[in-house]
Chain A
Amino acid sequence: MKNFRIASVAALSIALTAGASLAADYPDRTINMIIPYGPGGATDISARTLAEPLGKVVPEALVMVNRTGAGGATGSVSVKHASADGYTMLFARVGSHTVNPAMKDTLPYTLDDFRFVGVYEINPVACAVRSDSDIDSLDELASKVQAEPGSVTYSSSGVGALQHIASAMVLKSFGVEKPLEQAVHLPMKGGGAAATAVLSGTATFICTNSAELASFVANGQFKPLMVTTTEPVAGFDAPSAASLGHPELEQLVGWTGVAGPKDLPDDIAAKWGEWLAAATADAGFREKMEARGSVIELMSPEDSAAFIQKQYEVFRALVDELGMRISG
């Protein structure tokens, strides 16, 4: 017991001295990477795929920590409250860091609570209906919504998910005045369930990450109506938003990035920028991510913050216009 106490005092003093010269020899121990979504989800797979090349460039071990709940809020909050020493970092995602902050007043964090060190993955968004549907274009869909209010439903993986705001935004762009009243939002539990709802005819259409729809489109079960990126998406025989005259929808993309608490020191943020650059250059990593339909595009810490801020503002304006704000 006595030895133990001496050891702990010694370790404590080491820990204290280490605190002083923190950034210079960062990292000197394991870094916890918080994934705010469950194992097997899009964020989890993206994070764990990145962990492989990242582990080769970061001198210390990286531990992937899933902290699930409330659409990414539980895990994000834990990083907000973590000490800004670079030993607790977050895999931020479109849902947790732009859609949710734009929609929920009750969210226990804001964008200002984080410092982004890099967005590394962009997911094009695609809209699709079941292949036997009589709807062949988004214009047809929009006119159906207006002609028969309440007859068109769209599924999402829950309130505050990308699919939720995406469908509303697309309908609005295509001329539906009150998408919330005229079309019905069907929240499901998870992205898989949301796609299944369209397949079984429970929902009329879905707008989500192209990756989630890729196999349905390839199998001829879904008919894609649009993709939001300017570049065509492999396997999706559908027009881009810009070619349909709606370039504003290009803001509608999914992304994954790495963030730390807001007080993260500059040199640590810079180190992360370098590490991410090295990791995302890995050929094997790119190949695996691209096979899943992602676009690998690393943004610098500054560009990442600007990109996220802009998407947040677009979403926020839409939320205010449509009255989607959740205040309770």
Chain B
Amino acid sequence: MTRTTHRQIGIAAILFAAFLTLAGIPYGVTAPDNIRNIVLSPLFWPYALAGLLALGGAGLLLASRGLPSAAEAEAPGTGWRPGAGLRLAIAAVIMVLLVAFAETVGLVWAAMPAFLAFAFLVRTRHPVAATIAAIAAPLALYAFFAHVAGVAIPQGIFVRLP
């Protein structure tokens, strides 16, 4: 899939560079009015990078012409497994939930179901060991981080650990 990926990355890079130049940098970066020298402006470096990104994208498009076409280069086993999309979507949802609720319910309590969910997402062959680890690991890590390293691991508003 060399030729196709080269093209896809090339196009994506050019599009992203265009987005940065037209919208991202004008809105995302502020520069004071009284700048004496253009190379000192906070905008100079981001614009330079956007230009470099576009150049890299163009280079990839150019280089892709010399590469074998998609069909002959397709290596076996690089495609998606059945169900991969769904599993990845679930993984994304778990990550979002973990970040959103860890401070409210407590990191330890949030990490346990997340651990378990991931263990089943990767189809663990050791479900019992995974379940035990799902309970033990967040607790052990809490003990270490909170009591040895002195880190304030979020406790949540429900159950507080010593």
Contacts and interface: CB of A to CB of B under 8 A. Distances in A.
Direct contact between the two chains A and B in their complex (CB within 8 A):
yes
A11 B159 contact: yes
Interface in A34-92: 63-65
Contacts of A327: 32
Contact of A7 (B31, B32, B159): B159
B104 to A, nearest CB: 12
Contacts, number: 26
Interface stretch (B13-21, B47-55, B84-92, B150-158): B150-158
A63 B152 contact: yes
A326 interface: yes
Interface residues of A, number: 16
Interface string A6-37: 01100110010000000000000110100000
B78 interface: no
B103 to A, nearest CB: 11
Contact of B158 (A11, A30, A65, A326): A11
Nearest to A63: B152
B158 A12 contact: yes
Nearest to B36: A181
Judged by DSSP, the binding face of B is: loop
A328 interface: yes
Contacts of A12: 157-158
Contact of B160 (A4, A11, A32, A328): A11
Interface string A300-313: 00000000000000
A287 B32 CA distance: 45
A326 B152 contact: no
Judged by DSSP, the binding face of A is: mixed
A328 B31 contact: yes
A8 B158 contact: yes
Interface string B143-154: 000000011100
B157 A326 contact: no
Contacts of A4: 159
A70 B22 CA distance: 27
A68 B152 CA distance: 15
B32 A328 contact: yes
A30 B152 contact: yes
B32 A63 contact: no
A15 B159 CA distance: 9
Contact of A32 (B32, B34, B152, B159): B152
Given A32-B152, A63-B150, A15 B32 contact: no
A111 to B, nearest CB: 23
Contacts of B152: 30, 32, 63, 65
Contacts of A30: 152
Contacts of A32: 152
Contacts of A15: 157-158
Contacts of B159: 4, 7-8, 11
B26 to A, nearest CB: 12
Interface of A: 4, 7-8, 11-12, 15, 29-30, 32, 63-65, 323, 326-328
Given A11-B160, A328-B32, 8 more contacts: A4-B159, A8-B158, A11-B158, A29-B160, A30-B152, A32-B152, A63-B151, A64-B150
Interface of B: 30-32, 34, 150-152, 157-160
22 contacts: A4-B159, A7-B159, A11-B159, A11-B160, A12-B157, A12-B158, A15-B157, A15-B158, A29-B160, A30-B152, A32-B152, A63-B150, A63-B152, A64-B150, A65-B151, A65-B152, A323-B34, A326-B32, A327-B32, A328-B30, A328-B31, A328-B32
Interface pairs A-B: 10 shortest CB-CB: A328-B30, A8-B158, A63-B152, A11-B159, A65-B152, A32-B152, A8-B159, A11-B158, A12-B158, A7-B159
